[in-house]
Chains A and B, each alone.
Chain A
Amino acid sequence: MLIKKSSDIASSEITPQSIYKQRREFMKGAGLLVGGSLLSGVATAQSGDALKARAPAGLKTSPAAPWLQNKFTSISPAPDTAPFYTDEALTPYDDVTRYNNFYEFGMDKSDPSSNSGEFKADPWSVEIAGEVGKPGVYTLEDILKPHDLEERIYRLRCVEAWSMVIPWIGFPLADLIKRFEPTSKAKFVEFETIVDDETMPGIRSRFAIVRWPYREGLRMDEAMNPLTLMAVGLYGEPLPAQNGAPMRLVVPWKYGFKSIKSIVKINFRETMPNTTWVDLQAREYGFYANVNPAVHHPRWRQDMERRLPQTLFDRKVIPTQPFNGYGEQVASLYKGMDLSRYY
């Protein structure tokens, strides 16, 4: 398979050096500013010229617990090298937080940000279950305590052929998994999103055809890959509800629907879990769902993507890369597999 090197990204897609340096400097300073204020997200979003134009007006984020906000005062900045970093232009905060697929809050892209006002990300607990040495129900604080937060700038490619570049805050999923001591039988990890019909109006909708809870899964080696991130924030801020507060998965080489939001259960199992989209339409969505320009979704092509925000005068329709450009890190996981069959 032909795998592009990360150096193949066209120079036109790259943020001018001056702006990105400015942004990097800003991120280093941002740690001082955070201190639990809403302002840091706004300020960060304003640090690049491209972002300035779209500075969020009255942005609404779900208030994170004070202990969690405290954790955000020391974030190690992203290294300046791929794969944990890319200097492609960031998608502005405003777009990242107002253009979401999160059907529990409604089916339109703007529903999650407008309908998630009631959502409570605190208190929060996560059940660890299945083939694991230390099962149990843990508070989010216990889950996060030993982990230092770091920033990672990843491309996010949605199966609907649009993409974003997002500065996540989180820690490697592998570090979390090791703590709970999975047994030798743990071949897959299954995740579940919270179901709360009181605060998630999409769940009450008569037109929804999803069987809740939303479920996703990874093979163990995918889960342990250093790229796989457990995210708790973006743009230096705790995650807003619509982006999966308080804790979500980020698997940058797979289509966005694999990066499950608002996780309440992590289940280790011997067999491949049944995931929500495979359940809905097995012909259109596979378990692996690796970004693959060679395998088209039956209803739209996957060899290019609209990098958001698109404007009609600057269309930014760019070629999609195998494994979303992370092939050097993950292609070996699928050696010998027919990826047109295991899509």
Chain B
Amino acid sequence: MKRVRVLTFFLCLIPFLVLVFKVIQSDLGPDPAKELALLTGEWAINFLLLALAMTPLRQLSGRIEFAQRRRMVGLFALFYASAHFMVWVVFLLGLRWGAILEEVVERPYITVGFSSFLILVALGVTSPRAMVRKLGKNWRRLHRLVYAAGVLAVVHLVWIVRTDLSQAFIYGALLVVLLGWRVLFARHRVRGAV
């Protein structure tokens, strides 16, 4: 049990270690800030979609382990999103804190990306068991926002694509499948209960 948890943790950490290695090796090309922003952002979305896939995977496989790992995967989405945010602030905005607000207000793709990040922060802060107990019913309601975070993150990505639409298409399709599954499953369950 504990072994599975430790294994998941290190698997989720691999992309980060690869990034650190690339930074140390100066293997990010002449515009490393932009490259790093792209990579951390991609991994944030990958983990967010993976977190959204945990429940369907449990339902399909019947294995409870998927549900048990959901929180950790979700927290890794927050981890990579924070890295993405920090890269943006430190390397792309050159630590000009005043510029953050301006960007968030003026650029719609940043507004949606930042909203997604804020949701993940809220979910991360309320993820410990103590918070779950404290919030009771409201915890479930709050954590439904993860769907909004997923949609906003994908919109953020699609919006910055300049000419190549292939990546936007793949992420969009994945999101539709993951959200569609829930709609179908809920309907199925309602019908089953009647």
Contacts and interface: CB of A to CB of B under 8 A. Distances in A.
Interface of A: 91, 95, 98-99, 103, 107, 109-110, 162, 207-210, 296, 298-301, 304, 306, 308-312, 315, 317
Interface in B55-70: none
A309 B30 contact: yes
A98 B29 CA distance: 9
A306 B164 contact: no
Contacts of B102: 301
B135 interface: no
B109 interface: yes
A336 to B, nearest CB: 28
22 contacts: A91-B30, A99-B29, A107-B163, A109-B31, A110-B29, A162-B31, A207-B165, A299-B160, A300-B107, A301-B99, A306-B31, A306-B33, A306-B34, A306-B92, A308-B30, A310-B32, A310-B33, A311-B26, A312-B32, A312-B91, A315-B90, A317-B91
B135 to A, nearest CB: 38
Given A298-B107, A299-B109, A312-B91, A99 B31 contact: yes
Interface in B68-115: 90-94, 96, 99, 102-103, 106-107, 109
A207 B93 CA distance: 30
A115 to B, nearest CB: 15
Contacts, number: 63
A100 B36 CA distance: 18
B13 interface: no
Given A298-B107, A304-B96, 20 more contacts: A98-B29, A107-B164, A162-B34, A208-B163, A210-B163, A299-B107, A300-B107, A301-B99, A301-B102, A301-B103, A306-B31, A309-B30, A310-B30, A310-B91, A311-B26, A311-B32, A315-B90, A315-B91, A315-B94, A317-B94
B165 to A, nearest CB: 6
Interface in B8-37: 23, 26, 28-34, 36
The residue among B31, B36, B99, B166 with the most chain A CB atoms within 10 A of its own CB is: B31
A312 B164 CA distance: 27
A317 B89 CA distance: 12
Contacts of B99: 301
Contacts of B28: 312
Given A103-B163, A107-B163, A312 B29 contact: no
A106 B109 CA distance: 25
Contacts of B96: 304
B16 to A, nearest CB: 15
B29 A109 contact: yes
B107 A95 contact: no
Which 9 A-B pairs have CB atoms at the shortest separation, nearest pair first?
A: A317-B94, A309-B30, A95-B30, A308-B30, A99-B30, A107-B164, A207-B164, A312-B32, A162-B31
Contacts of A110: 29
Given A207-B166, A298-B107, A315 B160 contact: no
A296 B163 contact: no
A312 B36 contact: yes
B130 to A, nearest CB: 37
Nearest to A99: B30
B33 A315 contact: yes
Contacts of B103: 301
A296 B102 CA distance: 12
Contacts of B34: 162, 306
Contacts of A299: 107, 109, 159-160
Contacts of B94: 304, 315, 317
A308 B31 contact: yes
A78 to B, nearest CB: 23
A312 B28 CA distance: 10
